[in-house]
Amino acid sequence: MAFRGKRRYGIGKKKKETRSASEIVESLKAMNVRTEATGSDYREQSLRIHGLICAKCARDFEPKDRHHLTVHHKDGNPRNNPKDGSNWENLCSHCHEDEHSRGLLGDYLRGKKD
Ligand SMILES: [Zn+2]
Ligand SMILES: [Zn+2]
C-alpha cells in the first residue's frame, strides 16, 4: 500500500540576512557622493568682504571663532560665487540652519553641513 502524502522539504530555517559592516559603509559612500567640488575658498573671501559678523542676528565673532560663521548663498546656488561677494551672506551656524529650514533649500544644508 502506497503512502500518499505530500512530503515537505526544507520547512522553516529562514536564513537571516546579514550585511557586513563594510557593505554598509560602501552603500553609504555611494549615497554620499556629493562632495564639495566647488572648493571652500569662497568662505575666506566672504568673511573678508563681509566681516566676521552674522548677517541675521548681527552677532560678531572673534577671529578665533570664525569657524562658527558659514557662508550662505543668497540664491541657493553654491556654485554661484561672484568675486564681489554679492551672492554671499555670512551667517552663524544657527541662523544658517534657520534660513534653510524655512526655505526650499533644506536638502542643500543637509547634504553639506558646514
Ligand atoms: Zn546668526
Ligand atoms: Zn545657506
Identity at 8, one-letter amino acid code: R
Can you say whether the dihedral through the CA atoms of 8, 9, 12, 14 is positive or negative? negative
Within-domain flag for 5: no
Within-domain flag for 2: no
Q: Residues with Cβ within 5 Å of ion ligand 1?
A: 54, 56-57, 92, 95
Whole-prediction pTM: 0.56
CA 35 to ligand 1 center in whole angstroms: 25
Q: CATH number of the domain that 67 lies in?
A: 3.40.1800
Structural domain count of the chain: 1
Residue 93: domain span: 41-111
Measured from the alpha carbon of residue 73, the closest ligand is 2
- Residue range 90-105, pLDDT digits in tens: 999 999 999 998 755 5
Within-domain flag for 52: yes
- Residue range 14-37, pLDDT digits in tens: 666 677 776 766 666 655 433 344
